[in-house]
Structures are given as C-alpha cells and as structure tokens.
Chains A and B, each alone.
Chain A
C-alpha cells in the first residue's frame, strides 16, 4: 500500500495567555509567559511524543502521550516553532507571545494537504514584502460596535472618509472608494462603491483578523485596487467537538449605543467531519452629540447574521458561507440641503438650526442597505498541486431616502433604489514544485455584474458588466533573499441601458490591460528586513465617472461624467524597512505613486443654473498625479511599559504642481501603554493605554476649491483599560475606553459633513466578552 502523504495538524490551544501587542524581548530568565497546545494529525488524533523546538531560544521539548505540550517561562516575542514526529513531515508555525487566550491555533504541516490555511498562508507568503498593517483578536474585540473603516483608521497610513460619524470608508495612502478593494472572507466586496457616503456593508465582528495591504500588490485580488486592499478574515473553522463560541456585549455613552454579538461553533468530531459556525450581531445607536449639542437624526440600526459550514473529505474540503448585513442609517438632517445658498447659510451658522432632542428614531433622510453574500469554496489536493474553486454571489440593495419624499408618491419611498447582483468565479492552482525555493500561484477569475435602479434621476445607469482575469505569481527564496513577481491581465466589458423619457439608448465599453508587480526582500536575520517593490496597476473608469449628471443632496454640487474617460494607471514604488531591536523597534514605509490619467472632479465655470438656484459644477477629468509619503512607527518597550509613536505624511500634486482636494491631512499619534501581568487565573490582567493623536490642518489644497477653508488642526486624547478575569472558571474580558476624552470641539477635513456640524464629543464605552 502506498503511503499516504502524512497529514499532521497541531492544535495549539494557547491557554491562560495574555495578549495585546507585540513586545520585543526582555531578559529571558525572568519572562513569565507560557503557552501550551496539542499536536494532532489531520484526523484529530493526538500524536504522542511529538518534538517541538524553538530555534531562537534553542529550547526543545517533547509532547506527552496525549500530544500535549507546554512551554514555560518564555518572553514576549514572535517565535518560530518547529514540530516533528516520527513518520510525519516536519512542520513549522509562528506564535506571537503573549497571545490571545484561549485561541485555537491550527496549522497543517504537509503542504500537499493544506486545506484550511491555503489562502492565509499563501497570501502571507506572497505578500511578505508588501507594506501591511494588521488588527487581530482582542484588538478587534475592543473596538466592537465600530464600523470596519473606523476600526482600521488608526493604523499607519490608513484613515477614513466620513459622511457624519456613521458612514465611514477606508482611505489608504489618500485613495479610497473604487481604488480600495475590500475582501470579505476572500471575496471581492461588490457594492455601490461610487459615493463617498457608501460605507462598506461588512460586519467586522465576524472577523478575527483585519489586514490592510498598502498599494496594489495583490495580483490575485484585482488590479483596480490601486490604493490598497483590506482583508477581512474570519477565524479558521473549529476542530473541537465541544460547542464553543463567545458572547460580546457593549454600550457607549455617546448616542446610547448598545451592541451584542453571539457566535457558536462546533465540529462533528469525526474523521472527515463537518464543522459549523453561526454568528449574529446587533447594533443600535441614537442621536450622537458633539460637545455642545445633539445631532438630529444620526441614529443607526444594524443587524447581521452569518453561517459557515465546512466539510472535509479525504483530500478535499468544501466550504459554504452565507452572510447578511442589514443597516439603517440616519443622515444628519441639517446636512440635507437644496442648493448653494443653503450650504452657505449652514457654514455661517456655528451649529445646525434643528438641534434635536435625544432619540433612537431614524427619520428621512436615511439609508437602508442590505448586503447578502453566498460563497462556495472547494479545495482539492492532487499529486500535481492544490486546486481551489470559488463561487460567490452577492446581492447589494441600497435605498436612499431624501428629506423630501418623492413628489407625487404616497408613503415613504426611497429617492434612489439600487440593486446590484454580482456573480464571481475563481480557480486558483498552486502547483507542487520539486524545488522548495519556488512557490507559484496561478488562477482565473471572472465576475458578472448587473445593476438596476428604480426611482428618480440616476447617478449610475442600469448596466451589465463582465470582467475576466488571469493571474500568476511566483516567489523565489534563496538564503536571505526573496524575489516576488506577479502578472495579471484583465478584460472588462460593460454595457449600459439608459432611458430618458421616451428614448432609450446604450453605451458599450471594453477595457483590457495588464498589471505587474515585482519585489525584492532582504531578511536581516533577527534584526528585521528591507524590501523594495514596484507595481504597475490600472483601473477602468467607474460608472459614475462615466455617467454622473446631476446634483447630489448634501454635496450641493453638480457633477458631470464623461464617457470618453480612459483607464488610469498607477506606478507605485515603495521601500519598506523594519528594524527589530531589543530596546527599540522601528518600521518605515516610503512610497511614491505616480498615477497617469487619474480621474478626479475638476471645478467648471460658470456655475450651473437650475430651478433650485445656481450650483458649482464639476466634471470628471483626467490628469497625472504624484503621491508620495511615508508611514513610520517606532516602539520603545521598558519592562511593563511601552511607548509607541506613529506618523503618516502624504503629499499629492498633479502634473502642474497643483494640489488636489480631499487628501488626508498628516497625522501623528503617540501613546504609552502599561501591562501588569499576573500568573494564573485568579487575578485580572490590567492593561492601560493612553494615546494622543494630532491631526494637522490640510494646507495643501487648491485655491478656491472649497466652500470653506479646511478645518484647523486638532488634538485628541483617548484612553483604554483592559482586564481579563475569571469567575468560577469562566473567563471574562472587559474593556473600558474613552474617545475624545477631553470633549474637544473640532471638525475633520475628511468628514463631508464638516460644513454643518462639529465632530462627536466624548464617548465612554464598556465592552464585555465572554468566551465559552
């Protein structure tokens, strides 16, 4: 009988461990951390007496007869752990000490049988040189109740574009919307992306890890994301046959926000079994307040549910995932205006006229949005390599209600109502190569999209859009060097269907272009690494850039599309340097991004005259822009203390050395954290952190391009207190935080509602997570 390629998986239950951020090593003899786990084979049976070895510490231990192992007295650091057992291939995994507890960490050792971790592992391996930022585990739990963009907006180089406090979109290195791709559970998130007031329809409480890849490095995910990619990844499916999960509840003072999340999961416990996970979350908030007044109609309500199934077969696995996101968001009524006169009047006022009393009720204007995602994923391990087949269906429904219900209609009907259907199919093949130095990933991707609208004047017409792509990436490693190359070709066809009164007509578009990236990384041993990369990527014009022809409420501007726009192309150079020392660590990322035929809104003269008065006119136009900047972060640990400083600088000009509007201001954040640690279950782990953020005034703006000058610089304080405690063997994680602690009055340049009202004031929130 032919010997099966051995499947070995280790299941590391990192118990009793304290987590937050990576500290770099202190004196080894006095470290108090430990971690424990279990080594299993793919069938879930323990592997007795497996050997484990941490090369950095030169400490080897042996698992017991049940496969359990325990590392004592190790320090806070990232470790590589090698696992070996007679009859199995040697495996390795990375562990970050201290780690979140209790976390089931699983890794399959034989690459031929990588079922669970294929995507995670390969995306890691392929993007080692990319500038990326990460938020995981407890860092996400501590922010539950916040939107996806809000959670990641503190990361270096990442900010958010806001329309009030409730609608936020991620901005990476100054680029956003169609230029930032969000991968929800591995699937391109497809929604009505064209508006700044369209937040991503994703529930971040389902995620275990949020990664931001800065720049268009990820050939697999699409070349149109010239700003970057946000990866929203759930935890791997459970392996335990015991029911596990968590409850997370939270409340906040500002807006009377309350939130609840429940997650349950289980594995059948059999060989080639079935694992499932069910998740539900709820969030409700009423009118928010600034330091001085309440903001009328700023409540939100959100309901989310997700269900995941995973069935493993002998050399294959099938995943089924479904999620629904449903939200209702009130828009600040004062920001809904009819014309430029209204806007100037609003700017003149120090606060909105109709400051309301507190209420959870949501009136017009509001948004009602739903997003469904169905994903099927099949993986197969073959002697020639691994094949992954993915199909996903997404249905996005967006209804926007104006303050004024449509004339001539009865009842409350939306002013615009969009339905977007997206079908996506993907085949990815990872050939098994003889040479260990090479890794190759190749695939085909296709998606088909339909957009329908009902209601008044559309910003985007009905359309059908089709995109096919082929991509290949390779990574070559030798000694301390790694070279990555990626290539992708896209073909996009779109057809629109417009009707104006009695006539109807169509336009057709065809775009085809290649994208390319190359990067070279040099590992500097334990000291860090240095990486240089170049990416050339492109993005076809979006439907609103081609077809806009109207005035959007809130913006008080007439926007005109141009059907002759060409695709834009980005040439992105970046240099990343990471230094990891004992008493100091540092990370910096320099980038230079040249975008030719960059599509933006250019002011037009004269203003356009309508029956609602005159409006400034803007046309979607193209020019070359140059974006350069640096993100830097330094950490100084000292015993239980850690001081961290982070800065982002960005400067954007066009080919005539003119500035562009809406570019994120420069930012500096620094903070001091203290972690008091105790061994054992009894005493609470206390984590205290105080942070100060300074956001500069945006001075790099073109003259006469805005209705009022950019807001002044501001400084915010925030503080966090974390505590893990046990009651009768049940663990509780408590987090108390305060944002805008000094109740500062300020306005943010990145908020489209800055003309109308101040930002929200102090917010004290309390969250409790109970894992079971």
Chain B
C-alpha cells in the first residue's frame, strides 16, 4: 500500500543515521596534570644533611592506598624545609613546583596539626609578587621531643590578606584545598 512518496522519508532517515554514526576511533585522552606526590626535604642548616619524606598517591583517587613516610627529626635543630609538588601519574614524573611558585599569589602552603607549635616551629622564608608568603621554602626548628601529626596543606586562591593568614593560620584563608597530607612526626 505504500507509495514511493512515503519511502522518501525513510531514505532520508537512513542516510542521516549513516552519517550520524561516523565513529571516532581515538579514545585516548590525556588526563592533564594531577598532583600525586608531595615531597618534604628537611636540610639541617649546620650540617647540610638532607632528609626527604613524601606522601604519594600515584594512581590518583581510589585504587591503591597512598604511601606515606613518617618524619623523624632530631631535637634542637634548625632545618630548611623545601616542598616539592609532583605529578607521577605518567611514565615520567613532572615537577609542578615551578608552576605553583609562578602562580605564587594564588597559592599558599600551611603547616598545622598537633606537632606545630608543640614539637616544631615553622617560619615562611619566601614571598610572592605582592610580598606575601607562599610557603614553599621555610625554616623549621625542632623545639621538644615527642610524637605528633604534621599536616601540610596547599590552598588555591586563599585570601592572604585575611587575619593571621600571612603568619600561617589557615582559619580565615578560605580558597580551595589542593593538597592536605597528614604526616606522623617524631622529634627525638
């Protein structure tokens, strides 16, 4: 009962479906840069001996649990603490630290938790373009023996002019957390 006229739309339809279904073969995606690793290097100021502790989650969120070093520092010493932020998700590790420093006004590291002020003191030693701290280079002095937690946070777009933020207090900083890693620390 169908006339040729009514077949026309079917033909149009078939053509469109064929065109619409052209396939992309490339399903590879670069995941972009992700922060997987935080490295803390404590360099004893008088002896120049350096120790490195890291928090790493190379496969990103989920999957295997992150690996975490325990920090052990002798009492009554001064250290230069430098922080390194890496992307180790790919075959070759990428250092993201220069990017953090370049965008210094939009980043700040904070050091908090039970060990800070009790076992160690931390002082910022670097400045962004506006003269505010970034916290990538710091001085750490061990003040008393004991065990505690040492938390390193990296905030993106904190309000550096808010009360206490320049002195390392995170309460009023706001912004978005890029890194938050808790280390076990022993001062011996």
Checking A338, A353, A404, A462 against B27 with a beta-carbon cut-off of 8 angstroms, the contacting residue is A462
Q: Does B184 contact A (CB under 8 A)?
A: no
Residues of A within 8 A of B (CB): 316, 318, 334, 336-339, 341-342, 345, 353-354, 376, 378, 380, 382-384, 387, 389, 391, 393, 403-404, 406-409, 421, 423, 425, 448, 450, 452-458, 462, 464, 497-499, 501-502, 504, 549-551, 558, 560, 608-613, 615
Q: How far is the CA of A448 from the CA of B19 in the complex (A)?
A: 12
Q: How far is the CA of A452 from the CA of B89 in the complex (A)?
A: 22
A-B contact pairs, 28 of them (CB 8 A): A316-B6, A336-B176, A338-B180, A341-B177, A341-B180, A353-B162, A353-B172, A376-B13, A389-B13, A391-B13, A391-B17, A403-B157, A403-B176, A404-B176, A407-B33, A407-B99, A423-B16, A423-B21, A425-B17, A453-B29, A457-B60, A462-B27, A609-B57, A609-B66, A611-B38, A611-B181, A612-B180, A613-B180
Nearest Cβ on chain A to B47's Cβ, whole angstroms: 31
Q: How far is the CA of A408 from the CA of B28 in the complex (A)?
A: 18
- Do A376 and B9 have beta carbons less than 8 Å apart? yes
Q: How far is the CA of A681 from the CA of B6 in the complex (A)?
A: 49
Checking B28, B159, B174 against A504 with a beta-carbon cut-off of 8 angstroms, the contacting residue is B28
Q: How far is the CA of A353 from the CA of B170 in the complex (A)?
A: 13
Closest partner residue, chain B, to A615 (CB atom): B61
Closest partner residue, chain B, to A393 (CB atom): B20
Nearest Cβ on chain B to A408's Cβ, whole angstroms: 4
Checking B21, B27, B179 against A612 with a beta-carbon cut-off of 8 angstroms, the contacting residue is B179
Q: How far is the CA of A339 from the CA of B155 in the complex (A)?
A: 11
**Number of A-B residue pairs with CB-CB distance less than 8 Å in the complex they form:** 149
Q: How far is the CA of A185 from the CA of B156 in the complex (A)?
A: 44
Closest partner residue, chain A, to B55 (CB atom): A611
Q: What is the 8 Å Cβ interface bit string for chain B, positions 1-41, against chain A (1 contact, 0 not)?
A: 10001100110110011001101100111011111111000
- Do B27 and A393 have beta carbons less than 8 Å apart? no
Checking A345, A425, A498, A609 against B13 with a beta-carbon cut-off of 8 angstroms, the contacting residue is A425
Q: How far is the CA of A502 from the CA of B30 in the complex (A)?
A: 10
With A341-B177, A404-B176 already in contact, the answer to whether A608 and B61 are too (CB < 8 A) is yes
With A338-B176, A453-B29, A611-B36 already in contact, the answer to whether A550 and B17 are too (CB < 8 A) is no
Closest partner residue, chain B, to A383 (CB atom): B1
- The listed residue with most A CB atoms (<10 A of its CB), out of B5, B12, B20, B155, is B20
- Do B6 and A455 have beta carbons less than 8 Å apart? no
Nearest Cβ on chain B to A457's Cβ, whole angstroms: 6
Contacts of A612 in B (CB 8 A): 177-180
Contacts of B24 in A (CB 8 A): 450, 452, 462
- Do A558 and B61 have beta carbons less than 8 Å apart? yes
Nearest Cβ on chain B to A349's Cβ, whole angstroms: 9
What class of interface size applies to chain B in its complex with A?
A: 35 or more
Contacts of B33 in A (CB 8 A): 406-409
Contacts of B27 in A (CB 8 A): 462, 497-499, 504
Q: How far is the CA of A404 from the CA of B158 in the complex (A)?
A: 12
In order of increasing CB-CB distance, the 3 nearest A-B pairs are A338-B177, A613-B180, A407-B33
Q: How far is the CA of A407 from the CA of B86 in the complex (A)?
A: 11
Checking A316, A338, A382, A393 against B16 with a beta-carbon cut-off of 8 angstroms, the contacting residue is A393
Nearest Cβ on chain B to A365's Cβ, whole angstroms: 9
Q: How far is the CA of A551 from the CA of B177 in the complex (A)?
A: 13
Q: What is the 8 Å Cβ interface bit string for chain B, positions 110-125, against chain A (1 contact, 0 not)?
A: 0000000000000000
- Do B29 and A454 have beta carbons less than 8 Å apart? yes
Q: Does B45 contact A (CB under 8 A)?
A: no
Contacts of B156 in A (CB 8 A): 338, 403-404
Contacts of A457 in B (CB 8 A): 31, 34, 60-61
- The listed residue with most A CB atoms (<10 A of its CB), out of B16, B87, B96, B155, is B16
- Do A404 and B16 have beta carbons less than 8 Å apart? no
Q: Does B164 contact A (CB under 8 A)?
A: no
- Do B180 and A339 have beta carbons less than 8 Å apart? yes
Nearest Cβ on chain A to B102's Cβ, whole angstroms: 11
Q: Does B76 contact A (CB under 8 A)?
A: no
Q: How far is the CA of A391 from the CA of B180 in the complex (A)?
A: 51
Further 19 A-B residue pairs, CB within 8 A, beyond A448-B20, A499-B28, A615-B61: A316-B5, A353-B159, A404-B156, A407-B35, A407-B87, A407-B99, A409-B32, A423-B16, A425-B17, A448-B21, A452-B24, A456-B32, A456-B34, A464-B23, A550-B60, A550-B61, A551-B61, A610-B66, A612-B180
